[in-house]
Amino acid sequence: MNSNDTEINESATHLLGLQGVGVIGVEEREDGVRVVHVVTTDPGARACPVCGVFASARKQRALTRPRHLPCGGRPVEIQWHKSRWRCGESACPRGTFTEQIPQVPARMRVSSDLRREAGAAVCDGGRTVVQAGRDLGLSWPIVQQALLVYAAEVLDETPAPTEAIGIDETRRGKPVWKQNPATGKWELVADAWHIGFVDAVGGRGLFGQVEGRNAASVADWLTFQPEQWKAQVKYVAIDLCATFRAAVRRALPEAVVVVDAFHVVQLAQRHLADLRRRLTWKQHGRRARKGDPVYTVRKLLRRNKEDLTPEPLALLYGELTLMGTYGKQILAGWKAKELLRDLLHLAAKHTHIHPAPSAISGALHRFNAHIADHAHLPELVTLAETVEQWWDGIHAYITTGITNAASEGNNRVIKLEARNAFGFRNRANQRLRSRCATTRRGRREPLPA
């Protein structure tokens, strides 16, 4: 049976979307699956794959059942009635061959369109490999291989040009140790952390990840990138991590390190909590309990001043005043945190208007003066020292408004991807899936080709 023996249904062929074959009939089984009978219509299918000579002598007929995309939301079973030909070239080592088309090459049981759909379901659709296999009727190895092919096609090999990048770490699982038989020492085989590099301002997601949490890993990834790309990176957003700062200065000496404001405020909140706990123990010899003034306002201390209405603000001041000297010292810690936030609020976020140097110096002076008035509180002194050590990065944030929010958002997506997959054992596969989830999943702009 071939295209010369039976009439081709052009409409059904076009609906099937499998180039190189024609539909000669469709029937429906009792289980609801449509069986589509097709024959070869591509003239090139008769060309010998070795010598390229077109065959004219048919050896026998064959029936194969390649899997293809569902049609009309329902699965279809394709029965391909094709021929096995004898090669007419006497010098050709290939005696016989079976017809094949580009979408279903020889020895392939799955069409290229179905494979691409499986890869896109994981890479672009956010589905797990297992779920994509269930939806399309494919096994895990086939979907995984389709993902590798599709990701290599759509993901850029080199990072896209950007003015600012963000660097942050995320935990990938437990570390893996292996004992060296020669020395008897245990060596780290798989680190528990991945360091990610993201586009901090362009919204292009994750550029790449490296294993480990040290300066060498960060510096090596940055150094490996093209010189033209590195020359365009003017800012690098990080948290208060001296390791990242040292790596950036080594690999991108011209780039400006920007400290993320969220982590600065988080540090102030941590010192305030330490101050509150220390003074509570000093006054009561125990942790705060219900009924204690400091217990009543413990949550208010974490709130921002502008978010407090007059009633909670009066409660905060009143309860801490009842504590006496210790309460006033805790209130001083809260004010120090708010003065630091006032300094950070000068940042040019959306207006791109740089704050006046006098405004920055004035806010910094008020913060330092308040710390100097309460120099007997070690938590506040430590906070001021940290701000001084990282002032260049904090000042860069105030003048540029660049944050590392993109890294934090990507880390959340990466952790969600790992939970959906019930964890990863293959670290390279985890990095690939993380990049797919953060760069290809539903965004406002169209997905890149």
Do 190 and 251 lie in one domain? The reply is yes
For the beta carbon of residue 173, count every other beta carbon within 10 angstroms: 16
CA distances from 128 to 75, 119, 197, 443 (A): 21, 10, 23, 18
In a domain, 445, yes or no: no
Residues 274 and 376 in one domain: yes
Strands, DSSP E only, in 296-359? none
pLDDT tens digits, residue range 293-325? 889 999 999 999 999 999 999 999 999 998 899
Beta-sheet strands, E only, within 122-262: 164-171, 176-179, 186-190, 193-199, 206-211, 235-238, 256-259
Q: Are residues 63 and 143 both part of a single domain?
A: no
Give buried/exposed letters for 51-75 (b at 16+ CB in 10 A, else e): eeeebeeeeeeeeeebbbbebeeeb
- Residues 102, 69, single domain; the answer is yes
Assigned token pair, 144: 């995984």
Look up the CATH number of the domain holding residue 422: 3.30.420.10
Whether 81 and 13 map to the same domain: the answer is: yes
Which has more confidence, 203 or 1? 203
Q: Which helix (H) or strand (E) holds 232?
A: helix 227-232
In a shared domain, residues 254 and 283: no
Which of 27-36, 220-229, 400-409 has the lowest average pLDDT? 27-36
Range from 10-19, 80-89, 170-179, 236-245 that averages highest in pLDDT: 236-245
Q: Which of 87, 84, 88 has the alpha carbon at shortest distance from 98?
A: 84
φ/ψ of residue 165, rounded to 5: -120, 160
CA 46/CA 138 separation, integer angstroms: 29
* Number of separate domains in the chain: 4
Q: Looking at the predicted structure, is the pLDDT value of residue 444 above 50? A: no
> Does residue 442 surpass a pLDDT of 60?
no
Query: Where among 154, 182, 208 does a domain terminate?
Result: 154
Residue-level pLDDT at 186: 85
| Residue entry with tokens 């040019």 | 348
For residue range 164-214, list pLDDT tens digits in order: 999 999 888 777 778 888 888 887 767 778 899 999 998 888 999 998 888
Domain boundary among 154, 185, 208: 154
Nearest CA among 253, 245, 81 for reference residue 167: 245
- Statement to judge: residues 388 and 431 lie in one domain: no
Count of H helices and E strands in the chain?
Answer: 16, 12
Residues 396, 291 share a domain: yes
Q: Which domain covers residue 69, as residue numbers?
A: 1-109
Integer angstrom CA distances of residue 424 from 130, 234, 413, 427, 432: 13, 35, 15, 7, 11
Q: How far apart are CA 436 and CA 430, in angstroms?
A: 10
Q: Looking at the structure, do residues 255 and 299 belong to the same domain, yes or no?
A: no
Could you tell me the pLDDT band of residue 341, with boundaries at 50, 70 and 90? Answer: very high
Q: What is the mean pLDDT of the chain?
A: 89
Residue 179 domain flag? yes
Looking at the structure, tell me whether residues 238 and 358 fall in a common domain: no
Whether residue 309 is found in the same domain as residue 269 = yes
446 within domain boundaries:
no
Indicate whether 32 and 136 sit together in one domain.
no
Higher pLDDT: 124 or 268? It is: 268
Domain assignment present for 277: yes
What pLDDT band is residue 5 in, cutting at 50, 70 and 90? low
211: in domain: yes
Residue 426 resides in a domain: yes
Mean pLDDT calculated for residue range 394-400: 94
Instruction: For 103-147, write each residue's pLDDT tens digit.
Output: 998 888 899 999 999 999 999 888 899 999 999 989 999 999 999
What is the 8-class DSSP label of residue 96? E
Tell me whether residue 447 is in a domain. Answer: no
In a domain, 448, yes or no: no
Share of the chain above pLDDT 90, in %: 55
pTM for this one? 0.81
Between 441 and 112, the higher pLDDT residue:
112
